[in-house]
Chain A
């Protein structure tokens, strides 16, 4: 309830934020704060400084650049949920976001905050993995764009270095194809989640995207970080996507030995949930 002492810095621009990071090498970036502040109150995190990037203009906004959707890292869940552009292009993304936390969390929490924090039970890491996103990261010596498959590196660990800031999330819209679900050119995605009854984090969550070149799928909530469901992707590769094929493919997708468990939700149960959720997500799309 009572954080350790820290200093607070509010950045007005991206370059100022990067500068502040250089000056405070042990600082934590503050955006929505809904993961960081509780951790600080429990003294699980005791950063000596916070750099508030929630008002940095370069990190805000949603736009389309050709066949890519670009979301600023400090864009709130609420802004994504209510964006017409996103509703048209990835209608399932607002649906996934509606399952995060509660309205207060969604009013403050940001997409970049969730991804950079890389909580193993957060929803969006699975979603961006399935969407084949790329992440733009700004450092003192310039920007880099990393593939989502190399972004999540461990529990609460990503490709973002201590002196770097995640600035943009790029989602390719090239995979978009018309479907009954979304008749216009929209990405065919579904996210199925089994929430923890207390925290509302995912006990398990599965995101699937059906693109022109096949199925991309990922799970969250059960491993050290969100991961691709490669076994599922392979099983469906080149096959017609009908309920029978889906049913047959969604079996033992993940080895429980790779998963985490606790007294309420064992690794074995989470592995089972991943099968069930993958099936449910796919059946919504086929």
Chain B
């Protein structure tokens, strides 16, 4: 076998970076059209209020203001669609309109739109719109919102319950807990996070009066999906009347998947005014009006035996949805959370009940990891609680409950697809070895004698990547209402250059590099000869976009399959050129030749030229090398691994110092180790941030107190440790490249590693659990309480 691996597996630098890091990318706000107007939004200062009156006259009279609109003006378009509608689930989805009508349900809810000649004028005039509100009582906590007497957000949703959902077996879980030797109960809060992409969201809408066609430039992770939702559901126009273009997108973390009001009101205003309209939110607006993540309140019980076997898990979760239902909000705390709450463990009885609840806060939807970090945090925190309760080493408890290699494909009994492949113990062992676990325990004991509090936290995780087989995710029970295949078109031009157009929408994942690596190897062409294009619904085949760590496992496989088709066609044309039989041909290292005669070969470039000139093709063969694939995966992929954090707690101030961070991840085969490392670094940073720093905090009146980057603590490099990364490789059987995906693993694995370490450090004080983030004051108070109760170890 000749050498076929040239680029795949190489840690080459990302080809997209020179442009982006030199500030030469084209982002949404770089787009300027002739005659373009600028929109700014009047936003509610109240968390919950009736709109009594809106007076736009002063704003309208302000020089430079072109128009001011309210929600009443835009009643000719529909509210945003709810894409998640599971059968058999009580669902009272109330989605936002382009602008609020009648009442507002969170601080930052859009009330009126000012359109002006420039952005400063638009902002000035926002202050001149007079809105009379009748403030109503607010509720921000999901569990409290369901209690009797809580303020009601939407008449259609009694007790503010948008949906009720469950999975697993209640009978089995109840029985397991009732008969257990050990039961540990805990309340676990997975706090609200704000995704904070570096580029805030925005859009530019243009309407062509002559043809009735819209063009919408948008900060989007899924332009094809946005085109579909905005035309078919919001505007009621043919899908072909809208072209969506995502230019360079400066990060998303999920926040740019959803269908937002601003897409609708800019399109509406552009059509109304006959001029292009741009809207770009500022950071405060991004924080108050774009989606947030997480925000679960959970009551959980874990049951087991004294010798460390977990026998049951019972979970009740109140998932905060915010003031309205965001595009796929329902799917996050259900399919992507409930169905994977047993994690890497064989737990024979489990039941998860979820309430999706409206509160007077910004909408909550997918944020990096989306459901899986909440699930992983829950089970990993409880495994530590259980281990502490029975006095067993937390690593050992994990070992005793792991799903074993021979169990795959593994059905966890919660309605999840079977886990594709895994081997959990080697990853744990490798991580323990990297931290020198036994020595650490000695060091920890020694340090405690000196009044220093070190802690180690383990997180063994499994997650769901490569979402998802359409027949599963689109089925009634899952409620996503659509398939999740991905597309790729591959063309070899007559000069031998290869152009790949993908339905994926890279916005930091390095797809431009990894896809080119795959194509270069498969076609045997120079990496530099492969160009990856995306982002324009006019040019790319229909695709679902980038989220759920699906670009490589689904989008990349679509590319791989199109390349195979190209190779097949190349063999047929080359056979014709060599006057040979197609079935005798092989394609290898960029050449097609008769098996056994590699010296008489036709290169891909020669074949492509022949295919393009087309004056001598075999009969029935179309000109050009151009192949498209819509790849629907047979299963999701299930990456896994073990992360370990080591912390030291300053008991004087409560400050947690993250001293070491070891991560052993198994993401299947790796196309580009550098990109996988980068994804893990960023992902871990976001999980560490949840454990120690970030909190999207609303006070009881519904005021967002962490409304800007002076308050919301996104960590800097100086607040993070050096990461020590290791890998095991268990190829996925799901796709031909054996890849799993790495976009979210870091985030999914990390928060609980850090929190378990913090609790381990504090265990001499009798502290069993703290809610995230473990801020200095929270830690200090826990120590103070413990000291006052006489449980102090020092």
- Which residues of A are interface residues toward B (Cβ below 8 A)? 1-5, 38, 42-43, 102, 194, 196-199, 201, 262-266, 269, 272-273, 276
Contacts and interface: CB of A to CB of B under 8 A. Distances in A.
A266 B780 CA distance: 12
Nearest to A261: B777
Contacts of B283: 1
B282 interface: yes
Nearest to A275: B652
Given A2-B282, A272-B780, A197 B705 contact: no
Given A42-B284, A265-B777, 11 more contacts: A1-B123, A2-B119, A2-B282, A38-B710, A102-B716, A197-B713, A198-B693, A199-B710, A264-B777, A269-B776, A276-B652
A198 B652 contact: no
B261 to A, nearest CB: 19
B711 interface: yes
A38 B713 CA distance: 17
A198 B714 contact: yes
Contacts of A2: 119-120, 123, 282
Interface string B705-729: 1001111111110010000000000
A266 B710 CA distance: 17
A266 B777 contact: yes
B711 A199 contact: yes
A22 B652 CA distance: 51
A198 B710 contact: yes
A105 to B, nearest CB: 13
Nearest to A204: B653
A101 to B, nearest CB: 11
A5 B124 contact: yes
A262 B712 contact: no
A198 B124 contact: no
A213 B705 CA distance: 45
A2 B710 CA distance: 17
B701 to A, nearest CB: 12
A198 B694 CA distance: 9
Given A1-B283, A276-B653, A198 B712 contact: yes
A4 B124 contact: yes
8 closest cross-chain pairs (CB), A and B: A1-B282, A197-B713, A198-B713, A2-B123, A199-B710, A269-B777, A276-B652, A197-B693
A39 B705 CA distance: 17
B758 to A, nearest CB: 15
B685 to A, nearest CB: 13
B207 interface: no
A256 B491 CA distance: 70
B529 interface: no
B699 interface: yes
Interface residues of B, number: 32
Interface string B518-550: 000000000000000000000000000000000
Interface string B280-301: 0011100000000000000000
Contacts of A4: 124
Contacts of B710: 38, 196, 198-199, 201
B444 interface: no
Interface in B714-760: 714-716, 719
Contacts of B123: 1-2
Interface residues of A, dominant DSSP? loop
B709 A262 contact: no
Contacts, number: 55
Nearest to B697: A263
B169 interface: no
Interface in B142-173: none
A221 to B, nearest CB: 13
A56 B776 CA distance: 43
A218 B709 CA distance: 28
B653 A194 contact: yes
A269 B776 CA distance: 9
Nearest to A272: B780
A13 to B, nearest CB: 32
A102 B718 CA distance: 11
B452 to A, nearest CB: 16
A5 B120 contact: yes
Interface in B174-233: none
B786 interface: no
Contacts of A3: 120
B116 to A, nearest CB: 11
A38 B124 CA distance: 17
Interface in B89-137: 119-120, 123-124, 127
Contacts of A266: 777
Nearest to B692: A197
Interface in B338-365: none
| Listed residue (B653, B712, B780) with the most chain A CB atoms within 10 angstroms of its CB | B653
A265 B780 CA distance: 11
Nearest to A203: B776
A5 B719 CA distance: 37
B775 interface: yes
A273 B705 contact: no
Nearest to A198: B713
A98 to B, nearest CB: 12
A133 B124 CA distance: 42
Contacts of B709: 198
A29 to B, nearest CB: 22
| Listed residue (B127, B716, B777, B781) with the most chain A CB atoms within 10 angstroms of its CB | B777
Contacts of A262: 705
Contact of B711 (A1, A194, A198): A198
9 contacts: A1-B282, A1-B284, A2-B123, A5-B124, A198-B710, A199-B710, A263-B699, A273-B653, A276-B652
Nearest to A262: B705
A272 to B, nearest CB: 7
Contacts of A196: 710, 713
Contacts of A269: 776-777, 780-781
A269 B782 CA distance: 12
| Listed residue (A197, A201, A262, A273) with the most chain B CB atoms within 10 angstroms of its CB | A197
A269 B699 CA distance: 19
B783 to A, nearest CB: 11
Nearest to B777: A269
A140 B714 CA distance: 45
A1 B719 CA distance: 27
A5 to B, nearest CB: 7
Contacts of B120: 2-3, 5
A46 B378 CA distance: 47
A163 B518 CA distance: 68
Contacts of B708: 42
B282 A263 contact: no
B777 A197 contact: no
| Listed residue (B705, B710, B719) with the most chain A CB atoms within 10 angstroms of its CB | B710
Contact of B705 (A38, A201, A263): A263
Nearest to A2: B123
Contacts of B716: 102
A264 B692 CA distance: 12
B570 to A, nearest CB: 53
Contacts of B777: 264-266, 269
| Listed residue (B655, B714, B776) with the most chain A CB atoms within 10 angstroms of its CB | B776
A263 B124 CA distance: 32
A262 B703 CA distance: 13
Nearest to A194: B653
A132 to B, nearest CB: 28
A272 B776 CA distance: 12
Nearest to B712: A198
Contacts of B705: 262-263
Contacts of A102: 716
Contacts of B653: 194, 273, 276
A273 B781 CA distance: 12
A236 B653 CA distance: 23
Nearest to B127: A43
A1 B775 CA distance: 29
A102 B127 CA distance: 33
A43 B617 CA distance: 69
